[in-house]
Structures are given as C-alpha cells and as structure tokens.
Amino acid sequence: MQSALTLLSWGPEGWLDDIAAGVFVTVCLALATLPFGLTLGFFVALAKQSEEPSLRLAGNIYTTIFRGIPELLTLFLIFFGIPLILQYIVRLVSPGTSADVNSFVAGMIALCFIFSSYSSEVFLSAFRAIPKGQYEGGYSIGLSSGQTMRLIVLPQLIRIALPGLANLWLILLKDTALVSAVGLNEILRQSGVAARVTKHAFLFYGFAGLIYLLLAIVSSFGINAIERAVGGSEVKR
Amino acid sequence: MSLATDTLKVDRPPPPARGWSRQRILGHVLVGLWIALGIGVVVYLVTAWNPEFFQKYAPGYISGLGITLLLVAISIVLGAILSVPIAYARMSNNPILSGFAYAYVYFFRGTPLLAQTFLVYYGVGSFRPELEMVGLWGFFREAFNCAIFAFSLNTAAYQAEILRGAIESVPRGQWEGAASLGLHKLQTMWKIILPQALIVALRPYGNEIILMIKGSAIVAIITVYDLMGITRLTYARTFDFQSYIWAAIIYLVIVETLRHGVEWIERRITIHLHR
C-alpha cells in the first residue's frame, strides 16, 4: 500500500510528472482555442448586430446550432465527421489514401465553435452598450467605418466585454476535459490512467479536480491584472 | 392644388437606396451556405435512409431520450431542494457557514462536470467498505445513480448562486417595508421577496436546465444509455454517421423548445412590468 504522497510525487513511482504533462496539454488546448474563438465570435457578433437582415439571420443560425447541441456531441460530430468529409475529398484526388484528424485538432475546432457561439453573445451585448454617438462622432471627424470600429469602438468594446469573456475562459478550461473522451492525454485522462493502474480513483480524480480549481484561481489572477490594465484608461466621470 | 402636391413631392426625402452592398451580398452568401448545409444534411439523411436501421435503433433513441429527460428532471429537482440551504448559508453573516457554502459553490463551479462525475463513479469504489456498512453500496453501484448524485450536487451549486443573486436583486426597502407592516421574516420571504426574485431568476433557471440537458450527454462516458449513450452504441455497431446527426437534431429540438418556452413564460409573467 503506497501512501498518497508517494503516488503524487515526481518520478517513476509517482504520477505527478504524467499529470503535469496533462496540465500542459490542457493549457495548450485552451490557449490555442482562445484566439480563434475570440475572432470568430467577434465576427459573428458583428453579423448579428448589422442592419442587414440576412447577415443577422446567418449569425443567429450559427449561435442556435452550436449552443443547442451538447458540447460532447459537437466534439464527436467533428472528430468522426471531418475524417469522413476529408476522406471523401482525398479519394477524389488520390484514391487509396486515408485521412484522419487527431484529437487535439478536433478538440480545438469543436471548442472554437462552442466558445465563439457564446462569445458572440457577450460581444453583442457589449456592442449594444456602446452609444450610437460614438460611431457618429467617429464618422464626423472623417474616419472610415473600419477605422471607427478599430480606433473608437473596439477599445471600449473590450473593456465592456471583458468580464463576460473571463467567464467564458473559465468555461473553456472546464470544457477541455471533454476532449479526454476522444483520447487526448489531458489532465482528466492522465489522472484516469493513474487511477486505473494504482486503484486510487478517488485520490487521482480529486487531485484532477483540485488542478482545475488551481487553473481557475491562476486565471482569475491573470484576468484581474488584465482588467486593471484595460480599465486604467477609463475616463473618470 | 397641383402646385401643393408638387412641392410635397419635392420635399419628400429620397427613398433609401437598397442596392447590393457588400454586407448584403455577404449576408446572402452566408445564408445560402447555411441553406446548402441544411439541404446537404437532408439529402444525406434521405440517401442514407435505411428502414432496418430505423426499426432496430429508433426504439433505443426514444428510451435514451426518456433517460436523459428523467436524469435531468431528477437532478434539477434534487438540486433545487439542496440549493436552498446552500444559498441560505451563503447569505448568512456567520463566516464559517458562508465560507463553507462559498467553498462548496467554488469547487462545483470551478471543476468540470466530467471530473465530478468520474470522481463519484470511479472514486466511490475507494469507500466501498464504509458504504457497505451504511448500506449505500447498492445505490452507488449503478452508474445512473452516480450520475444523479454528481449532477444534483453540481446543479445545486449553480442554482444556489442563481437563488442568491435573485434574492439579493430585490431592494432592501422591500424587506423594510414588510417589517414595518409587521410581517415576520418567513412571511416576508414567501409573500414579498420570492415572487419578485423568481421573475429575475426565471431566465437563469431556464439556462441551467438547458445546460443540464447538454451536460447530461457526458453520462454516456460512464456507460449510462441516455440519448448520447445510445448514439455512441449505435455508431459503434453500425459505423453509420447518421446516428450522430439524429442525436444532434433531437438535442437541438429539445433545447430550442425549452428556450422558447422560457421566453414565453417570461413574457407572460412580466406583463405587469411593461408599460
């Protein structure tokens, strides 16, 4: 009977090094998804607040679909669906070869869709919080609509959207756990392997939970720092 | 007369030009892409139509849907019951009580539901002797019960926060007004605070139910045959991708129905607030 401390130590007897590798994969996945999800979410929000009804419709269909399907199902649809489509295309080009998607990329695509559908709602409500006069002021000093967006609206938008986006980042960190279901060696899967080998399931899954908590705490420190940096330039009224 | 109509015509602003702007073209292209995707899915489902597949697996889907709904309903109700003392503790002035409630809520909201479910389903084996002693081992041997246990604890944390937020959104003056009328605390809570708080809480509660329905898909990983579990089983047996598409359609329909239902209820119960 090994003690919990030995099991959680670094090295050949302990599992800490394996779990640390899982933490690295989890953080990489979340960080790799973030920029794509934010960009896509921003453009979907842009479509949803546009005056053009067809653009609004297209944006709303996007959010409806990815917010309505369970995250795990989205992941499976992409993990099993994309190879089917790829194979179809590859066979057209060169018969006999096969295509596959690894679990990291599949997880990244699925999480990007999910994250962007939620972040588009956050951006949309931030857009609505910016008064029309800001756009008009921008146009009146001769800025083009792209410049107005970049120089006047976007800096305010980020400040308003930040709390909502911080929340979504924490959700994204938790959602990475789902990718363990398609075989990515992240925190939960590594802990699961340790649990199966050592038969200390409660210890290892509890430890995994604590790591997720730790990641959340570390992120909230980071978020606070960003909020202070962004909020510092706010006009005092 | 003709002069007057002429001036009227001149005074009218020109009709807004609605040409094919870049935005409009882009919007139509994107909607076209969605329509193409929708048609593609329909065509795929029609060409992949297989009466045998249906006869064999459709009953499974229906029973899976039943299990999903049952799991969510039980967890939401148990979570709602459990959330009341947690919200009470969270709002109390006792630092130990509120600290404990805070830690509970922080743990369950800060860790993935999948990790919590694994912790219960696999981790409970570590306490087998103790559980056998109190006679609960039979309960925890079933994956379905473990899922209900984990989900109830999880949703209780979220619902406690919803409840707390809603109660705290009612202004202090309401408490003071009720106190000045001589109502005691429980009466104030029941007759004054809760009716106002629940209007605020309705939408978050609706969202929580939707999140639970979507979250319940993960029980498929711990061998419960809910809608997602049946889908995985069907795919494993047939390698027919339409099994996943059918599941996506079913989930989408449930979630959209719920969302519109909640919106409808909200419109109904806030009629007196609109002027």
pLDDT (average), residues B179-194: 91
Give the Cα separation of A33 and A113 in Å (integer). 9
Q: Does A69 touch chain B (CB under 8 A)?
A: yes
Is B221 contained in some domain?
Answer: yes
Q: How far is A20 from chain B (nearest CA, A)?
A: 16
Of B179, B224, B226, B200, the residue nearest B68 (C-alpha): B226
pLDDT tens for residues B117-152?
Answer: 999 999 888 888 888 888 788 888 888 999 999 999
Q: What region does A142 belong to: left with phi over 0, alpha with psi -120 to 50, or beta?
A: left
pLDDT tens for residues A82-92?
Answer: 888 888 888 88
Q: Does A4 touch chain B (CB under 8 A)?
A: no
Is B2 contained in some domain?
Answer: no
CB atoms A181 and B221 under 8 Å = yes
Is B44 contained in some domain?
Answer: no
pLDDT tens for residues A176-194?
Answer: 999 999 988 999 999 999 8
Q: How many domains does chain B have?
A: 1
Residue B217 has pLDDT above 70, yes or no: yes
Say which CATH number the domain at B159 has.
Answer: 1.10.3720.10
pLDDT (average), residues A120-124: 94
Is B46 contained in some domain?
Answer: no
pLDDT at A66: 93
Give the Cα separation of A70 and B166 in Å (integer). 27
Domain holding B115, by residue range, is 54-273
Q: What kind and span of H or E run contains B66? A: helix B51-91
Chain B positions touching A176 (Cβ under 8 A) are: 112
Q: Does A213 touch chain B (CB under 8 A)?
A: yes
Chain B positions touching A216 (Cβ under 8 A) are: 110
pLDDT tens for residues A24-69?
Answer: 999 999 999 999 999 999 999 999 998 888 999 999 999 999 999 9
CB atoms A206 and B123 under 8 Å = yes
Mutate which of B68, B109, B111, B235 to disrupt the A interface (most A C-beta within 10 Å)?
B111
Is B135 contained in some domain?
Answer: yes
Domains and CATH numbers, chain A: 4-231 (1.10.3720.10)
Is B38 contained in some domain?
Answer: no
Residue B231 has pLDDT above 60, yes or no: yes
pLDDT at A48: 92
Q: Does B51 touch chain A (CB under 8 A)?
A: no
Is B197 contained in some domain?
Answer: yes
Is B144 contained in some domain?
Answer: yes
Other CB atoms closer than 10 Å to residue A158's CB: what's the count? 16
B275 DSSP 8-state letter? -
pLDDT at A228: 87
pLDDT band at residue B7 under the 50/70/90 scheme: low
CB atoms B241 and A81 under 8 Å = yes
Note which residues in 154-213 of chain B have CB less than 8 A from chain A. Answer: 213
| Residue bearing the bigger pLDDT, B40 or A230 | B40
Of B193, B195, B200, B168, the residue nearest B266 (C-alpha): B200
Q: Does A23 touch chain B (CB under 8 A)?
A: no
